[in-house]
Amino acid sequence: MGLDIAVLGLDWEELRRTPAGERQELLYEAACPQDTDWDAEPRTGWVFPASPEVPWCGRYEFHSTAGSYKPHFWAGDGWDTAREFAAPVLGESLDGFLFHLLGEGGDPPEPGLFPSDATPWRPRLLLVCPPPVVPVIAAHWARAEPLLEGLREEYDRHAARPGGWIADFDAFTVLLREWAVVVDETARRGWGLLGLPV
């Protein structure tokens, strides 16, 4: 069993107004609502609200990953391999887009946003993008998207992993376009993004 990720777009001010000791429980309720009908067809795309208990939060369900964090990791790995073959403007723009989402660029939580971690062996957050960061990421995507097709041949030559989670350029771009939906809607609302391990 591997690591899964739940991506939440949320009203940062509502999160701050929530007592610190209640935040983690509410976020996990948003990630995995108690009223989930496990027999229903899986939902994809944005779910608003993420839970009736957390009306100021939405959850994005990736249709291409089945909830697993592995495709996100392998997309980042594929980009690390393909980066040197990208046109400079595309490379800079995709770096700016993916740095916060799939790389090591997530901002640390602001002091006091979460209580101290009682289980340091397990990561608390896989992604932290406060509201001011999200439109910056969206702007990087707006510059990268029209140039993305120019990377197809080099990506498939150097970064493809047939049979893997991100097998080729098409799988890579499907996941990137889903992230663009996540970022654009979150930016439109003026919200922030969190990625929780579940």
Sign of CA dihedral 97, 101, 105, 109: positive
Lowest model confidence (mean pLDDT) among 62-66, 111-115, 126-130, 182-186 = 111-115
| Neighbouring residues of 105: CB distance < 8 A, sequence distance ≥ 6 | 99
pLDDT computed for residue 113 by the predictor: 73
Whether the ω angle into residue 88 lies within 30 degrees of 0, i.e. cis, is: no
Question: In what side-by-side order are the strands of the sheet with 57-61?
Answer: 45-47, 57-61, 5-10, 192-197, 127-129
**pLDDT confidence band for 126 (50 / 70 / 90):** confident
Bridge partners for 5 per DSSP: 197
Task: State both tokens at 116.
Answer: 């101290």
pTM for the whole thing?
A: 0.90
Is the model's pLDDT at 120 over the cut of 60?
Answer: no
Bridge partners for 127 per DSSP: 195
pLDDT digit string, tens, across residues 104-115: 655 666 776 766
